[in-house]
Amino acid sequence: MRRVVVLSTGGTIASRRGPSGASVAGDGVAALLRRLPFALDVPVDGRDVLCLGSYLLTPADMAGIVREIRRALADDSVLGVVVTHGTDTMEETAYLAELVHDDPRPVVFTGAQRPADAPDSDGPRNLADAIAVAAHPDARDLGVLITFDGAVFAAQGTRKTHTVASAAFSAPDVGPLGRVRDGAVSVTARPVRNPPLDLSALNLAGIRVDVVACYPGADATVLHAVAAAGARGVVLVGTGAGNANPAINAAVARLTADGVPVALSTRAAAGPVAGIYGNGGGLDLLAAGAVPTGVLRPSQARILLTALLAAYRDPVRVAEELARRTGGSFGARLDPRLAERT
């Protein structure tokens, strides 16, 4: 029988408030599925993988979730997979899954902003929507998705943009791929995707990649510290289109010369990283060997750099792959089926 597999990993969707008022993940997948707000037309098989707040996950934990997705898809009767996950780092795990996803069947991440025992919990509807998307034929070949508050996003480029609102996720540069409401799915765009990495090479344990922020008056102290701590790669969070200052620029040049790839992202909410300014700005940083990450923001740039270091090891190859995967191939295109109908 054709079915959808739901993998539960914890997060707010599985949390209840304790005596202290703090929410703690504790519900398993059976409890999640009992709370669905409407009947589904597809059988569902639930499996517990983890039960943690996503702020506690390590890259190795995320890789473990990705391997569980692959195991679920080994069964040809599975239409698609849903992963319930905490919202704090959902964008990282979903993007890691996208990096290795080589199957036409969809993988859909979802979660909640309000705990399971809240009278207006958004988790049950988000989960039902995600299951509907995973079972829908138009979701094939979309890759890994994030479905939240009725919107369907490609994992790549999507991030949490509100701390508490029910519409927690957005993709500022490309928007959603479609919508879902009461089990009805509408796909209006399709993502531009990169070739998958080899899942068997995804051993992320021990690969340290640090994120370093630029800000007015910043010096190179943190860059020196993470290098001394054994960072294999660095994501530099520039200002504007990806700018820093001469001191940071000099440190970046030393890191790249020593074989430590530096990915250049930005703290700005939308728009690409671009080499525009000198005097320690983006143009100088690129000349120093930093690789611009396009519209990929620091959270996902770190996941990409970590995965590439695991897959290729050689820092020159890693920098080349980083540039290739972020240098213009990202985006979404209009679904031609929509064009035919309009």
Say if residues 130 and 81 touch (Cβ distance below 8 Å).
Answer: no
Burial of 296 (0-12, 13-18, 19+ CB in 10 A): buried
Half-sphere exposure of 74 (CA within 13 A, CB side): 7
Is 93 annotated in the active site? no
**Could you say which of 12, 89, 110, 188 is catalytic?**
12
Contacts with 200 (C-beta within 8 Å, 6 or more apart), sequence order: none
Indicate which residues carry an active-site annotation: 12
